[in-house]
Structure 1
Amino acid sequence: MANQTGKRKEDHIRICLGNKAQAKNATSGFEDIQLVHRALPEVNKEKIDLSTTFLGKKFNAPIIVGAMTGGTAKATQINSSIAQAVEKLGLGMGVGSQRAAIENQKLEQTFAVTRKMAPNAFLIANIGGVQLVHGYGLKEVRKVVEMIDADAVAVHLNALQEAVQPEGQTNFKGVLAKISEIAGALDTPVIVKETGAGISADDAKALEDAGVKAIDVGGVGGTSFAAVEYYRTAAKENVSGKAFWDWGIPTAVSLIETSQTVKLPVIASGGLRSGTDVTKA
C-alpha cells in the first residue's frame, strides 16, 4: 500500500509538470466578474495594507499556497522551496495528502521540511476525508498535525478523483460524521477543502454545522484531477477521466455560494491565475 501511494504521488508530479491536466473547456468563472473602475478612488496607493488575519494568524497578504505534494522524495524540494518563499513573504501554505507518510514513516521528511524552512509561517496539514471512513481517526489526524507542527489541518474531499482513479476508494458514506467527530475533538482548527470540483451551498452549510473552522472551495478552473487520473492510465481504459475532466462547480460560483451561506472564513482556490483574480475573489 505504501509503495502504491508513493508511486501515485510521483505520477501526479510528473503529469502536472508534463501534461495539460488543467480544466479544458471549463473556467474558474472569474472572467465573468467585472471590477468597477473608480475615477475617484480617494486612496493613497503607497499606504494600501494587504495584511489580514486568518484563524488567528497574521498574513502579510491574503494568500495561501494550496496543497500540492508530498510523500515522495521528489516532493521534498518542491515543499522546501514553497516553504522558504512563504516564510520570506509572510504568507501560508498547505502540504499535500500526508497519507503516504502515515503508511511509511521514512516519508515524513518530505512534509516536515516545510516547518524546518518556514518556522513562522502558517502551515496546513492534510488528510483525506475518505480515509476517515477507511480506518483513520483522531490518532492519524494528530500525527499529520504533529508531523509539520501545523497551525491547522485540512480534510480534503476528492470524491471525483477517487471515482475515476483505477485504485480509488469510492465509499464516502459517513465522511461528514467523521469530520464532525474530528472537529469536535481536535484543538487544531479543521479546514475542509475540495480538490477541484467545488463546494456547494448545501455542503458548505453541512460543514459549518459539523464544526469546521474554515472552508477552501477548491473549484473548477485549475488542475483537474479527473484529467490527472486520465493520464495515469491508458486513454482507452479511463473513459471516466475524460468524461468528467471539467466536472464540478466553477470557483467563482462556489465561492459565492459558500460565502453567502456560512459565517466562516472561506478560501478561494481553483484557477486563480493573477492578482486580478485574487482581487475578484
Structure 2
Amino acid sequence: MISDRKLEHLLICENYDVSFKNKTNGFEDIELIHNVLPEIDKQEIDLSTSTFGKKLDSPLFITAITGGHPAAKEINKQLAIAAENNNIALGVGSQRAACEHPELEDTYTVVRENAPNCLLVGNIGAPQLNLAEKAVEILDADILAIHLNPLQESIQPEGDLDARGYLDLISQITNSVNIPIIAKETGCGISAESAEALVEAGVDFIDIEGAGGTSWAAVETYRAEDRYLGEIFWDWGIPTAVSTVEVTNAIDVPVISSGGIRSGLEAAKAIALGADAVGMALPFLKNSTSQEQLNKFISRFNESLRIAMFLVGASNIDELKESKLVIRGKTREWLNERGINTKNYSRR
C-alpha cells in the first residue's frame, strides 16, 4: 500500500545513511571571489525574493518531504509552522496517496491549516494527470510540482517503468490547472536538454534536485530484497552544481537549486551560478522534532547566507546572482565538455 511505503521512506531517511557514497553535489569546486572592500552594511543585507509569486524572507525552500501516512501528519504540521513563522516556501511529498485514499487527506491539509500565508507547493507524478486538480484543492496549493524519478522507479520493487508520453502528460497538466507548475527531479538532477523540453511543455519553474544529497536509489535499496541494482546505481545522477549551471544556461524560467545543499554558503554558490532559490529536504526532516530545532536551523542557514553575501559585496539576491566566482575541478571539466565556458563566471 502507498501509505506503508511512505512510512518506510520516512524511517529509512531518518535512521539509515542514504547519502551518495562517492559523488558530491559539486559545490566544493565553486569558489566565490572574496571582496575585501564589500562597501555594504551586513545588517542591511536583504535575503528576500519574490521570484515565485509571493515575497519570501529568504530564498530557502523546504522541498518535498512527506505526506500520505498518519505518521507524516505531525511532521508536516511542524514544517508548516516553521515555514509560516519564517516566511519561507514549503513543498509536500507526493499527494497521490491522499487523492486515492481520502482518509489520508489530513496529512496534507494540516499544512495549510498551520501555514495560511505560506507559499505552498503541491506534488504529483507525471502519470497522475487525473489527480492534478484534486491535489491542488487538497493542499490549497500556490504551485504544483510534477516529480520525475525514473531511477527511483527502476529500483523500487513496485516501480512504474513505462515512461512513454511523459512530456505530453506534463503539457496536459500545465494546461489543466490554473496555478504555476514546477518540474522537479528527486535527486538525479536535470540536464540542459531536459530543462528545455520541460519549458517547451509549459513548465513555469524547474527544481533540479541534483545528485550529492539523498540518493533515492539508496532509499529503495534498503527496501529491496535484492540490493544488487541499488548498489550499482547508488551514485547515479548529475551533481547539483553542474545541473544548476546547465539548466540556468539553457532556459529563462526561475530555477531552484537543490540536492545536498547544507548551508547558506553552498546556497550562495548556487545562486551565484544562476539559481533563484535553493531547496533542502533531509535536514528539515532531521530537525522536525521541535520548532526550536527548526527555527535554529533556518536562522543558521540565513546567517551563513548573509555572511557569504557580505564577503562578496552583495546587498541582495539579485546582486549575489552577478557575483564573480571560479569553477574548478570535475565541475569545470564536465561543463567544458558540455560546451559551457566557465570563464564567463570569473570575468563578470
TM range (shorter): over 0.9
**Which of 88, 95, 114 pairs up with 1:98?**
95
Unaligned runs of 5+ in 1: none
Counterpart Cα distance in 2 of 1:117 and 1:22: 31
Counterpart Cα distance in 2 of 1:140 and 1:181: 12
**Residue 152 of structure 2 corresponds to residue 156 of structure 1:** no
1:8-87 equivalent positions in 2, closer than 5 A:
8-87=5-84
Counterpart Cα distance in 2 of 1:29 and 1:176: 29
**Which of 126, 131, 135 pairs up with 1:144?**
135
Counterpart Cα distance in 2 of 1:92 and 1:271: 18
Counting matched residue pairs gives 270
Paired-residue identity, %: 50
**Which of 232, 236, 242 pairs up with 1:247?**
236
Note the aligned Cα RMSD (angstroms): 0.8
| TM superposition shift of 1:23 | 1.0
In structure 1, what residue type is equivalent to 2:95? Q
TM-score, with length taken from structure 2: 0.77
**Which of 216, 219, 231 pairs up with 2:222?**
231
Q: 3-state DSSP class of the match of 2:250?
A: coil
Q: 3-state DSSP class of the match of 2:32?
A: coil
**Which consecutive aligned stretches of 4+ in structure 1 deviate over 3 angstroms post-superposition?**
none
Q: 3-state DSSP class of the match of 1:192?
A: strand
| TM superposition shift of 1:146 | 0.7
Q: What does residue 220 of structure 1 align with?
A: 211
Q: What does residue 177 of structure 1 align with?
A: 168
Counterpart Cα distance in 2 of 1:238 and 1:99: 26
| TM superposition shift of 1:140 | 1.2
Bigger relative contact order, structure 1 or 2 (CA pairs below 8 A, ≥6 apart): 2
**Which of 121, 124, 128 pairs up with 1:124?**
121
**Residue 5 of structure 2 corresponds to residue 5 of structure 1:** no
Counterpart Cα distance in 2 of 1:15 and 1:25: 20
Q: 3-state DSSP class of the match of 1:257?
A: helix
Counterpart Cα distance in 1 of 2:51 and 2:170: 21
TM-score, with length taken from structure 1: 0.95
Q: 3-state DSSP class of the match of 1:179?
A: helix
Unaligned runs of 5+ in 2: 271-348
Q: What does residue 195 of structure 2 align with?
A: 204
Task: Point out the more displaced range, 142-151 or 180-189.
Answer: 180-189
In structure 1, what residue type is equivalent to 2:84? E
Counterpart Cα distance in 2 of 1:128 and 1:56: 23
Q: 3-state DSSP class of the match of 1:112?
A: helix
Q: 3-state DSSP class of the match of 1:155?
A: strand
Deviation track 1:6-44 (CA, whole Å, cap 9, x = no partner) reads: 111010001001100111111100111011100011111
